[in-house]
Amino acid sequence: MSEIAEYAASLHQKEASHYPRDLVFAECSSRVEELKNIRAVIFDVYGTLINYWRPGFQTTETREQTLLGSFKTLADRFGMSEYLLKIEPGQPPEKTLADFYRGLILMGHQKAEKKGIVCPEIKIEEVWNIIILMLQRHGYVSEKHCPGKADELSRYVAFTYNFLSLGRELYPGVYSALQRLKEDQIVLGILSNAQFYTPIDLTLLFRDQSGGEISDIQEIFDTDLTFFSYEYGVSKPGELLFSNLYNALYEMHIVPSQTVFVGNDLVLDIEPAQTAGMNTALFTGDQSSAYFHDKKEQVIPDICFKSWDELSARISFHG
């Protein structure tokens, strides 16, 4: 296990927060009740497998205040606050940090777009590395605040911000549903907008929900069918990820019509998967993470499901 993975596991064990709530489902039309002759099922992560909701996300205003609180905790934990005040004396450190973070992400996207990259993705640790360099120019000493190797501080900070800012739980029944699909001789994969910490988080969360039966997500998902956006510099709904998935399926002698893409967003997940010729399944079990973009009439998934038990009962290998 890498040092950052060990750090993540320790943080998860000691400080993981749980935000229980009653899930309210969303309504959406679908084409059929069941999908048969399926050989592969590919999953989005955030809002599909992982429930990232947390208290404070109810409105745009409260979400902003909640995220600023996470930036404040992060700045204090890694000793950044006094140096952020040197940079912007009249502004709260968390606001300065949030402005740097969001501004650098935007600049990274704009730079990539000028190169002709459609739907660009950045590596989030590179954003944090720039912020750390800016702080160092004002006296910040990385070695004093890094839990591991100083040159890895940006990755520690990136994981910690994700840990502090978002909810981190699998939706109920995910592990059992995926196990049933695997028992039906269906191969599983991932295609998702993600960062380096996404597979780390997935491993920790599947360990929890499986009661320790799973030690690594490679025991569930086929590595040849796993595509994270940060590895390619392109995010959904850009076609590169889906094109790579198509090629990987072809190598396994699986055609798109034998594949189901599972997501929570009509534009980012369902529409591009349909364009690639795949069957689609929309998770509507949590209306806070089901995104329609006013396309309910134009983009219709093959099936919709409100619970994970329901999904595994409606997809089968045999005709």
> How is the chain split into domains, by residue range?
3-54+169-314, 60-165
pTM over 0.85: yes
Q: Which of 107-111, 145-149, 220-224 has the lowest mean pLDDT?
A: 145-149
For residue 19 the two structure tokens come to: 């935000």
For the chain, what percent of residues have pLDDT higher than 90?
98
Q: Check pLDDT > 90 for residue 156.
A: yes
Helix (H, G, I), strand (E, B) or coil at 299: coil
pLDDT tens track for 52-75: 999 999 999 999 999 999 999 999
Instruction: State the fold for domain 3-54+169-314.
Output: Rossmann fold (3.40.50)
pLDDT in tens, 258-282: 999 999 999 999 999 999 999 999 9
Strand order of the β-sheet with 226-228 is 226-228, 187-192, 40-43, 259-263, 279-283, 303-305
Would you state the structure tokens that stand for residue 90, as one six-digit string?
A: 């009249």
- What is the share, in percent, of the chain residues with pLDDT greater than 70? 99
The encoded tokens of residue 281 equal 């399944």
DSSP-assigned states of every residue in 181-233: HHHTT-EEEEEE---THHHHHHHHHHHHHTTTS-SSGGGTS-GGGEEEGGGTT
| Residue 230 and residue 195 in contact, taking contact as beta carbons nearer than 8 Å | yes
Q: What is the pLDDT of residues 227-266, one digit of tens each?
A: 999 999 999 999 999 999 999 999 999 999 999 999 999 9
